[in-house]
Structure 1
Amino acid sequence: MGAPYDPYNSGQQQPGGYGQNPQYPPGQQYPPGQYPQYQQAQYPQQGGYAPGPYPQQGGYPPGFQRGYLQGGPVGFQQAVTEAFRNAFNYYGRASRSAYWWFALFEVIAFVVLILLGAFLKAFGLVLDILGYIALFITVLPLTVRRLHDQDKSGFWVFIGLVPFVGGIVLLIFTLLEGTPGPNQYDIANR
């Protein structure tokens, strides 16, 4: 039995036969590109991986255009019309642009409703109530879809009911960027 292997003793052979090649004695340099002991294995081409550059950022195939319920970017008019069109859809995703363009529309609508309420008295009060209900019915599923864009459950919307802190947390959630690729809340998964 020999002495135990000491990695700091350069004159000692490594256990397991590493570096022991009868063709090239220890300490001799191998010719460039010739490493007989360490042959590179040849593996067959695996299916499912396309040669070339990596897929585009976001995890979607190149050229794929995400729609409104897939978290695609939208403009002001499309954000407002699609929010009302999908007022009862709690599935899918909503991008930051879809959410915040509709938030701008809400601010404008609140100002208009307040002015109508001031000028029209009793009839204005009825219009105010109906307008507020319509906006609430529309913004609740939009907020749920905004949370879905970040791969969060829609039940996180209830954190807004926690006094003081809940509204701030929900605001931060709506400001965060969504997941870059498909997630469990995509409409294709439904």
Structure 2
Amino acid sequence: MEWMLLPLRRYAKFSGRSRPKEYWMFILFLILCFTAIAIIEGALGISTTEHWAQSGQWGFDTGYRTRGGPLTALFGLAVLIPWIAVAVRRLHDSDRSGFWLLILFFPIIGSLVLLVFFVMSGTRGPNRFGPDPVEAGEPELAKG
């Protein structure tokens, strides 16, 4: 749980490096929170559900599409800056500038490139963005 909340404690810290465990545990935290919020919004009836049906040459197709409601939007805005900050620090760990996040503007290719960068292990030893977080240890987690 400590690793999941570490990016929230480093809310807008864009300098330094983050190890893969910090990034991926935060992503897991976001997935769990968005899932819980979707369940709550569905139970309260405040999410936007759209029923669609279409008849085509090969038959009839129907389905539902649910979009997040106001709680999803508020939570998304609250965690946007911590996500950007941990993503920049993760890129720093592989000795890349945070400007690599702008590659997300190329939808499929940019996402795949960033996924590869985030999965790769960081450079061993210090780099231009700071000391290796694995060698230096995480001071915030040593308190517990």
Q: Which has the higher strand share?
A: 2
| TM-score (normalizing by structure 1) | 0.55
Q: Is 1:109 matched with 2:33?
A: yes
The yes-or-no answer on 1:173 pairing with 2:117 is: yes
Q: Which residue of 2 aligns with 1:152?
A: 96
SS in 2 for 1:164: helix
| Matched positions, count | 112
Partners of 1:121 and 1:141 lie apart in 2 by: 33
Instruction: Work out the CA distance in 2 between the residues paired with 1:116 and 1:161.
Output: 31
Report the equivalent of 1:98: 22
Structure 2 residue corresponding to 1:138, chosen from 65, 68, 82: 82
Q: Which amino acid aligns with 2:16?
A: G
Write the letter of the residue equivalent to 1:91: S
Q: What is the one-letter code of the residue matched to 1:80? A: M
Q: Give the equivalent residue in structure 2 for 1:82.
A: 6
Identity of aligned residues (%): 34
Would you identify which runs of 4 or more consecutive aligned residues in structure 1 move more than 6 Å?
Answer: none
- Cα RMSD of the aligned pairs, angstroms, is 1.9
Amino acid at match of 1:133: L
Deviation at 1:106?
1.1
Q: Is the 8 A contact 2:17 2:93 kept in 1?
A: yes
Higher helix share: 2
Structure number with larger C-alpha Rg: 1
CA distance in 1, matches of 2:82, 2:44: 25
Structure 2 residues not aligned, in runs of 5+:
48-67, 132-144
Q: Which runs of 5+ in 1 are unaligned?
A: 1-76
Q: CA deviation at 1:179?
A: 0.6
